Amino acid sequence: MPLTSDLEKGRNRGYVPQKLHNTQVTAKTAFLFILPQYNVSVPTADGELVQYHYGLKDLVTILFYIFIAIILHAVVQEYALDKINRRLHLSKVKHSKFNESGQLVAFHLTSVIWCLYVVVTEGYVSNPRSLWENYPHVYLPFQVKFFYLCQLAYWLHALPELYFQKVRKEEIPRQLRCIALYLVHIAGAYLLNLTRLGLILLLLQYLAEFFFHMARLVYFTDENNEKLFNVWAVVFVVTRLFTLTLYILVIGFGLPRVESQALDPERGNFFSFLFNNILFRMSVLLLVCLFQASVMWRFIHFQLRRWREYWNEQSSRKRVAAATTGTKQQTKLLKRDSGYHENGVVKAENGTSPRTKKLKSP
C-alpha cells in the first residue's frame, strides 16, 4: 500500500517512473527509424488532414529500410533463385544475369502494383490536371512519402549488393549507371516537389522493365522461347510514347500556368517561374526529346541485333538440315549402286553375284 500511494503521489505531481520513461524514449527512437517524419495537420474542407514534408530525418528512415531491403534481397536469392539455378545448371555469365533479372522482376512487380494503387487512390490518373495544379506539392500523403522513401532505400541498397553478389567487373559500370539514373530521378522528383509526375513516370518505367527482365528469365530457361521479348518491345514503345506525351503536357502546358510563378525556396517553389520563359521551356523539352530519342535508338539497335542473330541461327539450321538431307540421299544412291543383299549375300540388280567366278583349269 505505501508503494502504491507513493506512485500515485508521483503521478499526480508529474513524476514518471524510470522504466516508463525509458520505454517512451525507445518508442520515439523506433518511430524515427520506422515511420516517416515531419507530419503536419493541413486544414481542408472536411477538417484537418495529416500530411508530410521532407527533411534530414528522412535519411534515418531510409537507412533502416536499406537494411530491410538487404534482408529481403537475401531471402529471394536463397529461397527462390538459388533453387532454380541448381536445376538449370547455367554458366557463370548466365547465372549472374539470371540473379539480376530475378531480383528486379520481384522488385518491379511489387513497385508496379504499389505505384498503381497509389496513383489510383490519390486520383492522379482520373484527374491529370492534379499533376501540376497547386504546384509546389510540398505536403505529401503518407503513402506517397513512404513509397518514395522505400524506392530510395532499394536503389541505395543495390550499391553494397554489387559486393555481396560478387558481380563481375565488366558488369559493374553498367549497373552503377542504372542505379545512379534511378537515384537522380527519384531524389529529384522528391526534393523538387514533383512527386506526382514522378509517380506516373516510375509506373511506366517499371512496367517496361518488368516485361524485359521477365523475358530474360524465360529465355534463360528455354532459349527457343523469345515471345516475351516481342511483348516487351510493344510495351516499351507504348510507355516511351506515354512518357514523352506526359513531359510535353506537364512541362509545356501545365507548369507555365501555375499561379505562383515567383522563386520561393521556403515554400518549395524552385523553378516554376523559369517555365514562363519560352526559351527555357523549349530547351527543357528539347533535352527530354533527345534523351528519349537516344533511348529509342538503343532499343532499335538491340532489336536489330536480336533479329540478325535470329535469322543467322535460322539460316545455319537450314544449311545443316540441307547438308544432312544431301548426305542421306548420297547414302541411298551408294547403296543402290552397290546392289542389294539377299540371304546375307550381295547381289547385283539382275540377280547375279557381283563377284567374278574363277574358271577351273581343265
Confidence of residue 362 (pLDDT cuts 50, 70, 90): very low
User: Per-residue pLDDT for 334 more than 70?
Assistant: no
Residues with Cβ < 8 Å from 138, sequence gap 6 or more? 53, 193, 267, 268
| Position 355 in a domain | no
If one compares 161 and 8, the residue with the highest pLDDT of the two is: 161
| Position 17 in a domain | no
Residues with Cβ < 8 Å from 341, sequence gap 6 or more? 347
261 and 288, same domain (yes or no)? no
131 and 237, same domain (yes or no)? yes
User: Per-residue pLDDT for 7 more than 50?
Assistant: no
pLDDT at 263: 61
pLDDT tens by residue, 87-130: 888 888 888 889 999 999 999 999 999 999 999 999 998 888 88
Asked if the peptide bond before residue 136 counts as cis, ω within 30 degrees of 0, the response is yes
Give the domain range for residue 146: 31-276
| Position 350 in a domain | no
pLDDT at 9: 47
For residue 296, which amino acid is it?
Answer: M
276, 309, 344 — which closes off a domain?
276
Number of folded domains that form the chain: 2
| Position 37 in a domain | yes
pLDDT at 359: 47
pLDDT at 360: 47
User: Per-residue pLDDT for 2 more than 60?
Assistant: no
| Position 113 in a domain | yes
pLDDT at 3: 40
Three cell numbers, residue 148:
518514395
Three cell numbers, residue 268:
518549395
For residue 128, which amino acid is it?
Answer: P
pLDDT tens by residue, 148-200: 999 999 999 999 999 888 888 888 999 999 999 999 999 999 988 889 999 99
110 and 59, same domain (yes or no)? yes
| Position 181 in a domain | yes
Three cell numbers, residue 242:
506515354
pLDDT at 340: 47
| Position 358 in a domain | no
CA distances from 299 to 13, 120, 177, 186 (A): 72, 30, 17, 23
202 and 323, same domain (yes or no)? no
pLDDT tens by residue, 37-63: 888 887 777 777 889 989 899 999 999
User: Per-residue pLDDT for 214 more than 80?
Assistant: yes
User: Per-residue pLDDT for 306 more than 70?
Assistant: yes
pLDDT at 52: 92
What is the distance between the terminal CA atoms of the chain, rounded to a whole angstrom? 147
Strands 39-44 and 47-52, bridge-based pairing: antiparallel
Highest mean pLDDT among 84-88, 202-206, 344-348: 202-206
User: Per-residue pLDDT for 273 more than 70?
Assistant: no
* Locus of grid cell 492534379: 130
Confidence of residue 204 (pLDDT cuts 50, 70, 90): very high
pLDDT tens by residue, 71-83: 999 999 999 998 8
CA distances from 165 to 103, 273, 354 (A): 11, 46, 72
Query: What dihedral angle (degrees, nearest 10) is formed by the CA atoms of 230, 234, 235, 239?
Result: 150
Query: What mean pLDDT do residues 303-311 have?
Result: 81
151 and 61, same domain (yes or no)? yes
For residue 339, which amino acid is it?
Answer: G
Q: What is the pTM (predicted TM-score) of this model?
A: 0.79
